[in-house]
Chain A
Amino acid sequence: MTLSRLKWAFLLMLAALLVVLKYARGLLEPYGDTPTAGILLDAVIVVSVVFFCGAAFTVLGKMQERLERRNRELLALHDAGLDIHSELSLDVVLRKVVDQACSLLDAKYGAVSVIDDTGEIREFVTSGISEEMRERIGSPPSGRGLLGVVLNEGQRLRLADFSRDPRASGLPEHHPPMHSLLAVPIVTKGPFRGNLYLSEKVHAHEFNEEDEESLARFATKAAIAIDNAHLHQRLRALAVAEERVRIAREMHDGMAQVLAYVNTKAQAVKEYLHQQRTADAEAQLEQLAAAAREVYVDVREDILGLRTDLRPGRSLEHALREFLGRWESQSGIAASLRVDGDVRLPPIVELQLLRIIQEALTNIRKHSRATRAEIEISQSDGKCLAQVTDDGAGFDPSAKHRADFPRFGLAIMRERAESIDGELVLSSEPGKGTRVRIAVPLAPTGS
Chain B
Amino acid sequence: MHFSNIGSWDRTLRILLGSAILALGWLETVPGIWSAACKLFGWLPIITGALGWSPIYAVFGISTRRPGGTRTRRT
Contact = CB atoms under 8 A, between A and B. Distances in A.
A207 to B, nearest CB: 13
Interface stretch (A26-34, A294-302, A434-442): A26-34
Interface in A203-228: 205, 208, 210
B59 A27 contact: no
B40 A40 contact: yes
Contacts of B32: 31
B55 A54 contact: yes
Q: How extensive is the interface on chain B, given as a class? A: 20 to 34
Contacts of B57: 54
A58 B36 contact: no
A278 interface: no
A44 interface: yes
Nearest to A29: B36
B36 A27 contact: yes
A62 B1 contact: yes
A405 interface: no
A57 B59 contact: yes
Interface in A57-89: 57-58, 61-62, 66
The range of chain A's interface size is 20 to 34
A27 B39 contact: yes
B3 A62 contact: yes
B69 to A, nearest CB: 14
A44 B36 CA distance: 12
A319 interface: no
B40 A55 contact: no
Interface in B48-65: 53-59
Contacts of B33: 28, 31, 34, 36-37, 40
B18 to A, nearest CB: 13
B55 A53 contact: yes
Contact of B58 (A34, A54, A205): A54
A313 to B, nearest CB: 40
Contact of A47 (B2, B5, B36, B44): B44
Contacts of B44: 47
Interface in A310-342: none
A345 interface: no
23 contacts: A1-B1, A23-B40, A27-B39, A27-B40, A28-B36, A30-B36, A31-B36, A36-B33, A37-B33, A40-B36, A40-B40, A44-B40, A50-B59, A51-B55, A54-B53, A54-B57, A55-B58, A57-B55, A57-B58, A57-B59, A58-B53, A58-B58, A62-B3
Given A47-B44, A51-B55, A58-B5, 6 more contacts: A1-B1, A31-B32, A31-B36, A40-B33, A50-B59, A55-B58
